[in-house]
Amino acid sequence: MDGAFRLSSYYDKIIRGTAREDTLVILQFFQGMVGQKFSFLNYFKEIPVSYDAILLNVEREMAEFAVHENQAKTITIDKNTIITAHPLSPFPEDMFGEVFYVNTTKKRVILCNFGYARVHSNNRRFVRVLLENRVGVQIQCEEGIIDGIVQDISLGGAAIDFSSTVDLKQGQEITLHFRLPDNYKSAERDVPLAAKVIKVEGEDGVSSCVMEFVSDKRTQQLMSYFINQRQVEIIRDLKDITL
């Protein structure tokens, strides 16, 4: 589905024994946890979707869970889910499971091929949102002014795409000018920010950059309002999905 990322981009797989051994150990743990609650985690357009799920049954190396409707929708999209480490778990890591079956109407999910996960998206300091409407940005640097399109944004940074290769270096300090929509005036508002380049990737004449910035109080208020509005839109989009 447009605007969705593979969930595996949010965590790293951890192998404790072999992949097969890890699956069997996790299933053995699940066998004694039928009826218990587990916390599931997925992402929809960069917004975390996390609800409790109840383990209903374990058989044939699969585990069946009763889940929230929104969780079932995101699991359908991602084809897997993160399972937060349970307080009674004998191992400290989070887990992941791949989808064998999901029914959004009945709110049932059957998972298989379990493994351990290190969820690096938990380290985010700010809520990040994926943008679908074009939000422009200009970069002011030594090379001049460069136009780009914001892909996702938070109060602490943004990912920006450029239609041409840009000569930016990691650690370079620049000035960003976001063109945020002003719905009241049906116009755009210029929001300047001092930023630092965190990562630059490019191929086939296209560049993608990750920027980090710290905003002042006024700018933070403008950004917060915009991000909160986008969060509301994403949550509404999730509720409106029919699968």
Last residue of some domain: 88, 123, 158?
123
Residues 164 and 235 grouped into a single domain: yes
Tens digit of each residue's pLDDT (9 = 90 or more) over 127-178: 899 998 889 999 876 767 889 999 999 999 999 998 777 778 899 988 899 9
DSSP string across 45-83? TTEEE--EEEEEEEETTEEEEE--HHHHHHHHHHSEEEE
Last residue of some domain: 77, 92, 123?
123
Q: Which residue has the higher pLDDT, 110 or 176?
A: 110
Q: Identify residue 28 by its one-letter amino acid code.
A: Q
pTM above 0.95, yes or no: no
pLDDT exceeds cutoff 50 at 66? yes
Query: What is the overall mean pLDDT for the chain?
Result: 89
Last residue of some domain: 123, 156, 180?
123
Question: Is 139 a member of any domain?
Answer: yes
| H helices present in 8-149, as ranges | 19-31, 69-78
Tens digit of each residue's pLDDT (9 = 90 or more) over 207-231: 889 999 988 888 889 899 999 999 9
Residues 172 and 200 grouped into a single domain: yes
Q: Are 30 and 58 in contact (CB under 8 A)?
A: yes
The distance of Cα 210 from the centroid of its chain, to the nearest Å, equals 15
Q: Of 192, 168, 166, nearest to 179 (Cα)?
A: 192
pLDDT exceeds cutoff 90 at 20? yes
What was the pLDDT predicted at 3? 38
Q: Of 182, 172, 181, nearest to 146 (Cα)?
A: 172
Question: Is 176 a member of any domain?
Answer: yes
pLDDT exceeds cutoff 50 at 5? no
Residues 175 and 142 grouped into a single domain: yes
Please give the average per-residue pLDDT across 115-132, as a whole number.
87
Q: What is the CATH number of the domain that holds 92?
A: 2.40.10.10
The distance of Cα 46 from the centroid of its chain, to the nearest Å, equals 3
- The answer for residues whose C-beta is within 8 angstroms of residue 73's C-beta and 6 or more apart is 44, 104, 238, 241, 243
- Counting the structural domains of the chain, the total is 2
Q: Of 126, 131, 136, 129, nearest to 189 (Cα)?
A: 136
Q: What is the CATH number of the domain that holds 195?
A: 2.40.10.220
Range of the domain at 105: 7-123
Least confident residue range of 12-26, 92-106, 144-158: 144-158
Q: Which residue has the higher pLDDT, 18 or 2?
A: 18
HSE on the CB side for 172, CA within 13 Å?
17
Please give the average per-residue pLDDT across 188-213, as a whole number.
86
pLDDT exceeds cutoff 60 at 1? no
What was the pLDDT predicted at 8? 58
pLDDT exceeds cutoff 70 at 4? no
Distance CA 39, CA 37 (A): 7
Residues 142 and 109 grouped into a single domain: no
Please give the average per-residue pLDDT across 78-90, as a whole number.
95
Please give the average per-residue pLDDT across 203-208, as a whole number.
73
Question: Is 2 a member of any domain?
Answer: no
pLDDT exceeds cutoff 80 at 86? yes
Question: Is 1 a member of any domain?
Answer: no
**Bridge partners of residue 182, in order along the sequence:** 187
- The answer for residues whose C-beta is within 8 angstroms of residue 169's C-beta and 6 or more apart is 197, 200
Residues 150 and 111 grouped into a single domain: no
Share of the chain above pLDDT 70, in %: 91
The DSSP bridge pattern shows strands 52-59 and 37-44 to be antiparallel
Residues 142 and 204 grouped into a single domain: yes
